[in-house]
A and B are shown apart, each in its own frame.
Chain A
Amino acid sequence: MSGTETGPVLQVTGLRKTYGSAVAIDGVDFTLERGGSLGIVGESGSGKTTTARILVGLERATAGQVLLDGEDVTTPSRRDRRRRARSIQMIFQDPYLSFDPRLTVEESIAEPLRLHGHGDRARIRATVATLCDQVGLSTRNAAALPRDLSGGQRQRAAIARALGIEPRVLVLDEAVAALDVSIQAQVLTLLDRIRRDTGVSYVFVSHDLAVVRYATDTVLVMRHGAVVEEGGTEQVLSAPRHPYTQLLLASVPAPGWDPAAVAAANRALAPADRG
């Protein structure tokens, strides 16, 4: 399709979103390389989910620009919805709620394939089988309704459905947050393998630093709608410069963890950005 095959797949500049007088995000810039994985971390209300929703066209940015494969997709339009969908897809936090409860998993996976013209009935059936195989869903899982699957299986199904569209960018909004830790690891490994196999890029929105450390190359730390620190994931998380990043890291329960000290540091940080 259109767009260049070189250069960053996603380029965001000066993104701003306000709801009335409330500022959700302000001045977010970042670049996502082809096949790369970018983490956006921050506490709830930091604007990371709003950013993700603007990327996929669920929200309209107040200002700024989103370039997807060199193409300006800042303003979502009904006309371009299908074209944008082919480039960028999203996995939601609760996969259960992102399926039509009446449809079986394979029907749900087949639907976007039909919309985006992936061939006749037989070819689509074959593609669905391949996708299910790719994410580790059995034939029985595929024939089941979403409510009969476990959380991990549903998230695999959601990944299969999004991958069928063959997007260049996959936005994962707290995609493993609702899963058990052991299932989280499985899904993260799966995502990692898919990225290597297909060359898709990830935007990983998460509050979980362990997830971000495992799944991303670069990371943005957001607080109150603004990016406070960014850089290589390993570097930012092992040697954080901004006090908020240090606080986030200190907030992770670990041996020698001191909740009281974290709370005190949080209080000390708060007036600084109010002033």
Chain B
Amino acid sequence: MIYAENVLICIAVPLVITLLFTKDGARRMSSSFLAGMIVCIVSAYISGFVQAVSGFSAEDTSIFLSPMIEECMKLLSMLFCVYVFNPSDDEIQLCAVGVGAGFATFENCCFILSSGAPLFTYVMVRGAAVGVMHIVTLVALAKGMLLLKAYKAFSLAGIAGVLSLSVTVHGLYNLLVSKPGVSSYIGYVMPMLCAIVLYMINGKTGRYREN
């Protein structure tokens, strides 16, 4: 049992202070990072609530429900950013990366506090797999939103499609790592592969937007 709210306050306070002394991109990055951590804790509350209401086991909640709840919450934070602040394309991507990194960092902090960090391999897996996965799903989401915006096709179908894709990636990852063995190794590698593919596409779509 850990007190996630206390952990959040502990990590968030220095970040809030940095907001006073930074501006432009650095401030946006810190704000997004903070938002990501808050989204993470709210998602955990909702998952816990849904688990209690639905009667699902903890394992089934993590495999089937958490991906949907977490990805929806991340999308909501992105939509808030897009509709309230009307950011530029680069700022949308910055926001996605910040929220993803904040979410992954806070989740990793809580897991490490509850399970300890004596095994380097375990810590590496958490960082390189789960951590990367949250960023990958959000960057894919942001990429989709940017293209929809660029082609003036910012439709519900497009947004819902990209969200469902994120949920599927997340759900597949959670399913694969739920059992030890070969499937878990495939799961651990998956986010990094997705990150490489997205990086390749990022360059091209970035150049397109500049033109």
Q: Do A and B come from one complex?
A: no
Interfacial residues, chain A to chain B (CB-CB below 8 A): none
